[in-house]
Structure 1
Amino acid sequence: MKVELTDVSETKKTLTVEVPPEVVDTEITRVTQGYARQARIPGFRPGKAPAHVVRKRFREQIMHDVAHDLVPRLVGDALRDKNVQPVDTPKVRDLQLEEGKPLTFTAAIETAPHVEPGDLTTLTVQRPAMPVSEDDVDKALSRLRDRLAKMEPVEDRGAEQGDTVVMHLSRRRLTGPQGVDIEPEAPEKHDGVSAEIGAAANPPGFDEGLLGVTPGTQKTFEVVFPSDFEVAEMAGARVEYDVNVTALRRRILPALDDEFAKDLGEFGTLADLRGRVREDLEQDAERERTRRMRQQLLEQLAGRMTGEVPEGMVAREVDRRVEEFARRLMDQGMDPRQAAINWDEFRTQQQEPAVATVKSVLVLDAIAAQEQLEVSEDDLDADISGYATRAGRSLAEVKAQLAQQDQLESIRTGLLREKAVSHAMSRATIAGA
């Protein structure tokens, strides 16, 4: 086999391969024999058709299988022989495959550039001050009270700010955006709707239409949306609401006292509860502090990467960011396909941060190699065991599944990069500590 490796740029290389005809013919014969054992050809008993008949009848499929089986193997052998480690799947082109002739093709290869991490002791990371104040504790307790509030019916007065109105509601647009005339619309009806007067999600002017209503109230009112409303199709539109109120409720907040703390089941006094809330807030602050310091470090490491960045790695990072955003939408109950998002524009917006991420990753890999960092089986098991416990499965079962899905190496790589982050942080100067 003849192999030629050509440098196109710091990260791009072209592999040119030529395979002797006898190797090609041996592979064609092997694949043909597989077809012959299963082929059903009129005039021949199953598995008894001559090879030349099978080869003629299934020529296209046979040649496809030969290329599919042989080319990746040849590329892998050639890259190992040349000691080249691609960062993306090689892209094969100009494939020439004919019986009795040499197999020839070229493959575009992307590799990681040479990276010098530099002197890690010159890194400076600012440790942000994130104190937890008594006001922070008060706000957290207030949010806890809100979650534990009870709803009681209101029967002795009309609706006020903070009350929840339960109603059958229909709405229709009277004008389009910015007051433009539109064709008459059929009302959009919703039964059993609950709306809290004063809630941020309410349309502008909607609350005023509900103030003073009581159960049994039937009312029609109009709302004109602001001309700069964030939903373009509603900006400046005039909308008619028709409501039939069925119930009125108010939120009753529990008193913030020792009994409130005891009702939570773990605390004897309000002071005990405040202490736990403070601890939780301080842990949250420490996690956020660590995240910010880590981000500072990664940004500085990315700045040390001045060479060419592999396009394939950037494309994969953009894909990862898009998929992660889509998952967040689904977690919020939204269908990404129905969301009013220009996905092409979103991908473009992710290009620059994706490049920065890839740069920092390349420097972390260089640090791991330079410092001879390793991920042991114990490290791998410790990382996977938490997931196995939550899933109610054994560590061995989860590892076997991850190995079958070719995910173990990506987990190992992630752990190695985290070790490189920790190593770099240990060498950096921490300001404000």
Structure 2
Amino acid sequence: MQVSVETTSQIERQITVQVPAAEIDEAVSARLKDTAKNVRMNGFRQGRVPMAVVRQRYGHDVRNEIVGEVMRERYVRAITDEGLNPAGYPQIEARVNEPGKDLEFVASLEVYPEIELAPIEGTQVERPVVEIQDGDVEEMIETLRKQNAEWQEVDQAAQDGDQVTIDFQGYIDDEPFEGGSAEGHSLVLGSNSFIPGFEEQLIGAKPGEDKEITVTFPEDYQAEHLAGKAAIFKVKVHKVSTQQLPEVDEAFIQRFGVEDGDKEKFLVEIRKNMTREAAQAVDNRVKQQVLEALKKANPIPVPSSLVQQETDGMKRQAAQQFGLGEDFDVSQLPNELFEEQAKARVQVGLLLAEVIKTNEIDADDDAIKAKVQELAEQYQEPEQVVEYYMGNEQLKTQVKSAILEEKAVEKLLEQASVEDVNMSYQEALAAAQQQAEQDEETAEEGEQTSA
């Protein structure tokens, strides 16, 4: 077997393999002999069909089988001998495939990029410092009350925060437009779920009243045919309802897992959950800054096959989130919606893998169990959660990956300049969200620039 490897780009290789004709012809002859033993043909007993007839009838198909098997086997041998690390599956094509001639085929493949990590020294990282205040706890209780509130119909003018039940029809240039109408729609005033200016003009409306609302669609509105256009909505107000908040009593507290309804225990649990959530927000904000710095310092090429795999995974996740059902064909979702984020994820994954490898980072069963115990604290029966995770190899692998990522980020953080910044609970959550959005925008801008 003769093998030559051509480097066509940083991560693309083309392997040309030649296999002596004698090997192929001998393998074809041997397979035809085995085939002849079971051939049934009119005029001949089983196993007595002449080889010339067998070859004429089955020779082409058998040769294709043999060539396919040989190309797959020799491809694996070639990448092993040449020390190549494929990312995804190759494209294999036979160039010369004729009896009596050496078989020649070409395998085009992507390989994992060779990474020499550039440091992130000098990177400025802002690390929030959060202390949960009594006021934060009280605000969280109010949020829980609102989430569990009931709506009571009233015969009075709608106020900010009230819920109105309406019919509406939108018009542009006196013509109704698609998607601009609904009947019996419930809208909470002040929720900002409608076009800017719509909800404000319903404040003061009474049950049974007709309203005419004038708004202008934002310039960046998702429906391009409506963006920037002025519209009139004719609205019929059917009902006005006010929010009735539940009392923080024993029954309310029991809804959140405090079985005896004790308020002090309830406050302790809320503070504990908020502390955990704040810590996660801090870790996420720090991690996002570190990973963004890592990407900027290491603009590596990313194999398209890995990007496609990540894109497919994101499609399946999106289908689950939107409840599209297990039978939904995710190929209907356009790649363009996910590719940029998928590429960023793959890049980060490759770089973190190199950080883990370079620094010989690992996590044993004790570390995995400790992490699972930490995660299980938020459940009512943590012991069962720990037992379930530790008995499931797939879940253990997921936890181990998370630990390795955390340790890699900690290692990278040693290279950065960290500034502690005091933040409130709400500011920390908002900062982590804002950082995630900024990173996503940066990834999109980088993709557009490279394009």
Q: Structure 1's 257 and 428: CA in aligned 2 closer, same or farther, altered over 3 A? A: farther
Tell me the number of residue pairs that the alignment of Structure 1 and Structure 2 aligns: 404
Q: Structure 1's 375 and 111: CA in aligned 2 closer, same or farther, altered over 3 A? A: farther
What's the CA shift for 1:77? Answer: 0.7
Cα distance in 1 between the residues matched to 2:248 and 2:404: 46
Say whether residues 1:2 and 2:24 are aligned partners: no
Cα distance in 1 between the residues matched to 2:7 and 2:399: 30
Contact 2:12–2:110, Cα closer than 8 Å, also in 1: yes
Cα distance in 2 between the residues matched to 1:432 and 1:59: 74
Q: What's the counterpart of residue 164 of structure 1?
A: 163
Contact 2:361–2:408, Cα closer than 8 Å, also in 1: no
Q: Deviations over 1:166-219 (max 9, x none)?
A: 46x363x443xxx3x65x7799875544333443223543664584433xx3x5
Cα distance in 2 between the residues matched to 1:248 and 1:276: 36
Q: Structure 1's 371 and 194: CA in aligned 2 closer, same or farther, altered over 3 A? A: closer
What's the CA shift for 1:425? Answer: 4.7
Say whether residues 1:317 and 2:304 are aligned partners: no
Which of 353, 357, 367 is residue 344 of structure 2 equivalent to?
353
What's the CA shift for 1:76? Answer: 0.6
Q: What's the counterpart of residue 150 of structure 1?
A: 150
What's the CA shift for 1:142? Answer: 1.7
Which of 202, 209, 218 is residue 228 of structure 1 equivalent to?
218
Aligned to 2:246, what secondary structure does the other structure show? coil
Q: What's the counterpart of residue 270 of structure 2?
A: 277
Contact 1:86–1:111, Cα closer than 8 Å, also in 2: yes
* Unmatched segments (≥5 aa) in structure 1: none
Contact 1:375–1:415, Cα closer than 8 Å, also in 2: no
Q: Deviations over 1:224-259 (max 9, x none)?
A: 3314262433443545546473x5432211245788
Which of 192, 197, 219 is residue 200 of structure 1 equivalent to?
192
What's the CA shift for 1:80? Answer: 1.3
Cα distance in 1 between the residues matched to 2:403 and 2:2: 36
Percent identity between matched residues is: 19
| Correspondence 1:31-430 to 2 at 5 A | 32=32, 50-58=50-58, 61-117=61-117, 126-154=126-154, 156-166=155-165, 169=167, 171=169, 173-175=170-172, 179=173, 182=175, 192-203=184-195, 204-205=197-198, 208=201, 211-214=204-207, 217=208, 220-228=210-218, 230=221, 231-235=223-227, 236-241=229-234, 243=236, 245=238, 248-256=240-248, 261=253, 264=256, 266=258, 270-305=263-298, 309-312=300-303, 314-317=304-307, 320-321=310-311, 323-324=313-314, 327-328=317-318, 330-333=320-323, 343=334, 346=337, 349-350=340-341, 353=344, 357-358=346-347, 360-373=348-361, 414=401, 418=405, 421=408, 424-425=411-412, 428=415
Contact 2:362–2:404, Cα closer than 8 Å, also in 1: no
Aligned to 2:106, what secondary structure does the other structure show? strand
Aligned to 1:88, what secondary structure does the other structure show? coil
Q: Deviations over 1:273-313 (max 9, x none)?
A: 3332222122111112222333333344445536xx4442x
Aligned to 2:314, what secondary structure does the other structure show? helix
- What TM-score comes out, normalization by structure 2 length? 0.68
* Unmatched segments (≥5 aa) in structure 2: 377-383, 421-451
What's the CA shift for 1:78? Answer: 1.3
Q: What's the counterpart of residue 432 of structure 2?
A: none
Q: Deviations over 1:335-377 (max 9, x none)?
A: 9x99xx99465456448735xx52x444433344444455768
Q: Give the partner amino acid of 2:352.
A: L
What's the CA shift for 1:74? Answer: 0.6
Aligned to 1:290, what secondary structure does the other structure show? helix
Q: Give the partner amino acid of 2:95.
A: L
Q: Give the partner amino acid of 2:2.
A: K
Cα distance in 2 between the residues matched to 1:381 and 1:22: 58
- What TM-score comes out, normalization by structure 1 length? 0.70
What's the CA shift for 1:221? Answer: 4.2
Aligned to 1:288, what secondary structure does the other structure show? helix
Contact 1:221–1:241, Cα closer than 8 Å, also in 2: yes
Contact 1:318–1:350, Cα closer than 8 Å, also in 2: no
